[in-house]
Structure 1
Amino acid sequence: MDDGVLIVTAVPAEADAVRAGLVGDAVTVEPVGVGPAAAAAGTARLIALAEAAGRPYRAVLSAGIGGGFPGLAPVGSIVVATRSVAADLGAESPDGFLTLDELGFGATSAPADPALLEILRSGLPHAVTGAVLTLGTVTGTTATTLALLARHPDAVAEAMEGYGVAVAAAGAGLPFAELRAVSNPIGPRDRSAWRIGDAFAALTAAATVLGKELAG
């Protein structure tokens, strides 16, 4: 028996925003914790529990709010990830940051499943598309912002869970995608510029559309 799609968020407030836009029970929404480690562990647990219950998921999405790179993903916009990148997984060196790929220890980029990506793009034609960076530390300076864009020119947003969810989905052989609503511009930390309410509203609106698409 197929239990449909699993959408994981970091915190309960994000899960509530997604659920507010959904109708029916074809999509399951659960918060799994903040950061890539909690996201990977929590997602893997939910997948395993569903499989043990005989109701395996057919796809996994990471969803929630995040930061948008200025000029690329404005506050209040929806971002659909073409890939989720573990942007701070690697090593520093005198010549600059070395990714896990460059060190020869594995991959730091998880491409979105093509079929899921097409569903998200079709259902949300006005969404910004590009790489979403997964970071253990939220960016708070201009220097870090510029450094991240230099390493990942296709990046449009950042969050803290996408890559972790992608790893769990890949381990279970499930297609993966990531969706973000932009709550703040990436750069010097300024809480007065955050619009979390607007981001939650955008997340609910997106879920209203996607619930119908994903139920098919």
Structure 2
Amino acid sequence: MRVLVATAVLVERDAVAAAFAPSPAREYAIPGATLSRVTPAEGGPVVLDLLAAGVGPAAAAAATAAALTAAALDEQPSGPYDLVVSAGIGGGFQPEAPVGSLVLADEITAADLGAETADGFVPVTELGFGAVTHRPPESLVRAVAAVTGARTGAVLTVNTVTGSADRAAELRRRHPGALAEAMEGFGVAEAAAAHGVPVLELRAVSNPVGPRDRAAWRIGDALAALTGAFGKLAPALESWNPHDRTQ
């Protein structure tokens, strides 16, 4: 099974890679980026390519699409990807997703893709365009949540990180099932959907969603939680059938 893991920045990518130490990573270039290949176990059936895709949904979509296209055209035996995972740290809605916890998306939603009207925000789908939500495979979400202890709920993709209590409350009003927000998941999911590849989003909570209080951030703890989660992921991936899209 070949998995593409897209993070925003190198420190997140390195936190994922740390789950597989001392296994050396093999690096190779694709257009505009570098992939680091790791395996959960020597000779194991799961291979992960790690990609620091950039910050925000546009950069994440572009880099993920480049990696997926390169894999689809690759003549090596590893072939195309079976799964794409958007991973990293993010903000958690309190009290459901406390700092240091893990959130696994059962839906990946673009929270601010649409239009402001006199009656409030209207998602782009109500304007007759595109999509605002991607849903990961239910069976895989259940399996990964079971092995990692992650909470499951909506992860919102935003272009502007929330910085006020009013904005946090508005997001929760529009998306009552939301547990976390980040900036890349929807872009990664759009690229995966264009290639017909299923997607997951896994976030370690580094800060509360709301007023920006840097003293309350726990980035190191969140990165450690991300490493721990990926260290437990292999059994769930090995037991999942990526060709059964009904699950």
Give the alignment's TM-score, normalised by structure 2. Answer: 0.83
1:98 to 2:98 alignment: no
Partner residue, 1:14: 12
Q: Which of 81-90 and 47-56 deviates more?
A: 47-56
How many angstroms does 1:20 deviate by? Answer: 0.7
1:137 to 2:135 alignment: no
Taking the aligned partners of 2:194 and 2:141, their CA distance within structure 1 comes to 19
Q: Within 5 Å, which residues of 2 pair with 1:114-193?
A: 114-124=138-148, 126-193=149-216
1:99-143 per-position Cα deviation (integer Å, ceiling 9, x unaligned): 11221212201111223313312222x211100000010000011
Taking the aligned partners of 1:11 and 1:19, their CA distance within structure 2 comes to 13
Taking the aligned partners of 1:212 and 1:38, their CA distance within structure 2 comes to 31
1:36 to 2:57 alignment: yes
1:60 to 2:60 alignment: no
Partner residue, 1:82: 106
2:221 aligned to 195, 198, 212, which one? 198
Partner SS, residue 161 of structure 2: coil
Q: Which runs of 5 or more structure 2 residues have no equivalent in the other structure?
A: 21-39, 240-247
Cα contact 1:149–1:155 (8 A) shared by 2 = yes
Q: Which runs of 4+ in 1 moved over 3 A?
A: none
1:30-60 per-position Cα deviation (integer Å, ceiling 9, x unaligned): 1100000001000000011111113211110
What letter matches 2:147 in structure 1? G
Partner SS, residue 213 of structure 1: helix
User: Bigger relative contact order, structure 1 or 2, given CA contacts below 8 A and separation 6+?
Assistant: 1
Cα contact 2:140–2:236 (8 A) shared by 1 = no
Partner SS, residue 88 of structure 1: coil
Taking the aligned partners of 1:160 and 1:116, their CA distance within structure 2 comes to 23
Compare CA radii of gyration and give the structure with the larger one. Answer: 2
Partner SS, residue 19 of structure 2: coil
Taking the aligned partners of 1:33 and 1:116, their CA distance within structure 2 comes to 26
Taking the aligned partners of 2:3 and 2:214, their CA distance within structure 1 comes to 34
What letter matches 1:147 in structure 2? E
Q: Which runs of 5 or more structure 1 residues have no equivalent in the other structure?
A: none
Taking the aligned partners of 1:53 and 1:188, their CA distance within structure 2 comes to 45
- What's the Cα RMSD here? 1.3
1:49 to 2:70 alignment: yes
Identity of aligned residues (%): 54
Give the alignment's TM-score, normalised by structure 1. Answer: 0.95
> How many residues are matched?
213
Cα contact 2:92–2:179 (8 A) shared by 1 = yes
What letter matches 2:49 in structure 1? T
How many angstroms does 1:213 deviate by? Answer: 2.9
